[in-house]
Amino acid sequence: MPHGFKQYDKHGRPKVLKLKRDLYGLRQSPRAFWLNLTEKLKRCGLKQSKLYPCLFIGAKVICIVYVDDLLFWIPKAEFINELAKQLRAEEIKLDEEGDAAGFLGVQLRHDETTGYIHMTQEGLAKRIIEALGFDVNVTNPKGAPAEQKPLIKDENGPP
């Protein structure tokens, strides 16, 4: 029982909660969550892209979904308040971040001249390069476990 839950039946026994199994650790849980989320987004007026299933487009908003993280693009702030109210009515718990900077390690930059939004993952790329010992500034590159010698960059690429 959740902490502080104190409800009893007519015989004085504590009430018992029945769990919805598909939401608690089964192999189908991610699929059940996805189907539930997409259905609720559709009921809020967002249409799922056929080309990119994680992209949802509405009349006033664009939404990208990654697992359980949602990123919204809106032209006016009041549109997000409207959508948040609808999503909460659909029993979706929202934790609002306010700014999309660093969403899942993705940096967003708006180009005022073209109107495009550029998405990059420089931080992730740098961490991967450093973890593999390919950074030119690293003096002690990491060794490969099987050969016990440093990994080196192949300047010419694969043969």
Please name the helix (run of DSSP H) or strand (run of DSSP E) that holds residue 31, with its range, or none: helix 29-43
Q: Is the residue at 57 inside a domain?
A: yes
Q: Is residue 49 part of a domain?
A: yes
Q: Which pLDDT score is estimated for 99?
A: 66
- Is 9 a member of any domain? no
33 lies in which domain range? Answer: 21-100
Dump pLDDT digits (tens) for 25-59: 677 778 888 999 999 999 999 999 999 999 999 99
The C-alpha atoms of residue 89 and residue 29 are separated, in whole angstroms, by 22
The answer to whether residue 118 scores a pLDDT higher than 70 is yes
Task: Look at 44 and 16; give whichever has higher pLDDT.
Answer: 44
pLDDT of residue 46: 94
CATH code of the domain containing 85 = 3.30.310
Q: How many domains does the chain have?
A: 1
Q: What is the signed CA dihedral for 53, 24, 91, 73, rounded to 10 degrees? A: -30
